[in-house]
């Protein structure tokens, strides 16, 4: 089965695009969602994260997200270490999930597909972009975070200009109707590739 990587910066609309592919009957794996589930379920991840970040990493058996975000998004070294703990487990989980799918292709949605090298394991890449101001506005509304927090996360992601040449398809996600049409177009191309 073909694996189509779906990526884009925070607030670009990856989840919306993933949902649109799902509505076309394509299996979708959302790496961030699975990573969140694994950080709470996996004893290995829990032990390693607690050893790295301290006892405040988990509260009532749940990852203390504000605490972890505060620590890692302003410290590239810690961020890399956390990613090195979580990403291999997500990769293993994806491989097990993939074996259970029956479709012409599947979507693997991951925010840092380029940054972590995961794009090399995909047959095609769909990049979702939007202007920075729109992305910030979307995330402020969605998460209730500050612009400063969003910009610190953006600083850990590649610029779109670096991602575009590595992508097979590019969706500028500023108008939902146009985005829907582009998803249908890409879907048809993937079915015939």
For the stretch 141-164, pLDDT in tens is 888 888 888 888 888 789 999 999
Question: How many domains, in total, are found in the chain?
Answer: 2
Q: Is the pTM of this model over 0.75?
A: yes
For the stretch 100-136, pLDDT in tens is 999 999 999 998 899 888 899 999 999 999 999 999 9
**Do 126 and 182 reside in the same domain of the chain?**
yes
Which stretches of the chain are DSSP H helices?
14-23, 31-41, 43-53, 65-72, 76-99, 132-143, 147-154, 160-163, 176-191
For the chain, the first-to-last Cα distance in angstroms comes to 12
**Do 110 and 50 reside in the same domain of the chain?**
no
Residue numbers of the domain that contains 82: 32-100
| Domain final residue pick, 56, 76, 100 | 100
Determine the Cα–Cα distance for residues 45 and 38; give it in Å rounded to an integer: 8
**Do 15 and 40 reside in the same domain of the chain?**
no
Phi and psi torsions of 74, nearest 5°: -115, 10
pLDDT computed for residue 146 by the predictor: 85
């Amino acid at each position: 089965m073909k694996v189509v990587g779906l990526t884009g910066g925070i607030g670009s609309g990856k989840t919306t695009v993933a949902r649109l592919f799902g509505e076309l009957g394509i299996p979708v794996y959302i790496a961030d969602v699975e990573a969140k589930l694994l950080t709470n379920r996996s004893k290995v991840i829990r032990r390693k994260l607690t050893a790295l970040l301290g006892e405040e990493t988990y509260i009532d058996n749940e990852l203390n997200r504000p605490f972890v975000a505060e620590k890692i998004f302003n410290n590239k070294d810690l961020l890399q270490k956390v990613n090195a703990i979580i990403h291999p487990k997500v990769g293993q989980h994806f491989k097990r999930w993939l074996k259970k799918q029956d479709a012409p292709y599947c979507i693997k949605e991951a925010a840092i597909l380029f940054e972590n090298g995961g794009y090399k394991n995909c047959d095609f890449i769909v990049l979702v972009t939007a202007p920075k101001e729109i992305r910030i506005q979307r995330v402020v509304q969605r998460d209730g975070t500050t612009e400063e927090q969003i910009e610190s996360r953006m600083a850990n992601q590649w610029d779109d200009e670096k991602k575009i040449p590595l992508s097979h398809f590019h969706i500028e996600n500023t108008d939902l109707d146009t985005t829907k049409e582009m998803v249908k177009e890409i879907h048809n191309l993937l079915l015939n590739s």
